[in-house]
């Protein structure tokens, strides 16, 4: 399974190579599949290639939903530890 996590473009050069920021983690990225990439754009990256562009609202909404899912999973994991007997 692959998750499409939004990443912000923080560096791009003339050869369409650069970096994105995944919530603090900087990743080398190839932008050759997209046109007119600018600093500050939000993209989805797969296997090192930016494959689609998102607007700011879509990116923030997706990140918010992913945070909610992570919090729900963490709560479920804690509840499971409370109700599961030790072996």
pTM above 0.75, yes or no: yes
34 belongs to a structural domain: yes
Domain holding 28, by residue range, is 6-82
Determine the Cα–Cα distance for residues 67 and 75; give it in Å rounded to an integer. Answer: 12
14 belongs to a structural domain: yes
Determine the Cα–Cα distance for residues 26 and 83; give it in Å rounded to an integer. Answer: 39
Examine the pLDDT at 1 and tell me if it is beyond 60.
Answer: no
pLDDT in tens, 17-53: 999 999 899 999 999 999 999 999 999 999 999 999 9
22 belongs to a structural domain: yes
Please tell me the total count of domains within the chain.
Answer: 1
Determine the Cα–Cα distance for residues 63 and 57; give it in Å rounded to an integer. Answer: 10
List the CATH number of the domain containing 10.
2.30.30.140
41 belongs to a structural domain: yes
Give the mean pLDDT of 5-17. 95
87 belongs to a structural domain: no
Helices and strands: H and E segment counts in the chain: 1, 5
Q: Identify the band that residue 5 occupies on the pLDDT scale cut at 50, 70 and 90.
A: confident
1 belongs to a structural domain: no
Q: Are 42 and 50 in contact (CB under 8 A)?
A: no
């Amino acid at each position: 399974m692959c998750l499409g996590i939004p990443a912000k473009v923080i560096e791009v050069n003339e050869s369409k190579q650069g970096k994105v920021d995944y919530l603090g983690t900087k990743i080398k990225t190839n932008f050759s599949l997209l046109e007119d990439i600018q600093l500050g754009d939000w993209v989805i990256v797969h296997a090192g290639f930016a494959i689609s562009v998102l607007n700011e609202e879509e990116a923030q909404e997706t990140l918010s939903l992913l945070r909610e899912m992570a919090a729900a999973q963490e709560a479920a994991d804690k509840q499971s530890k409370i109700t599961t007997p030790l072996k």
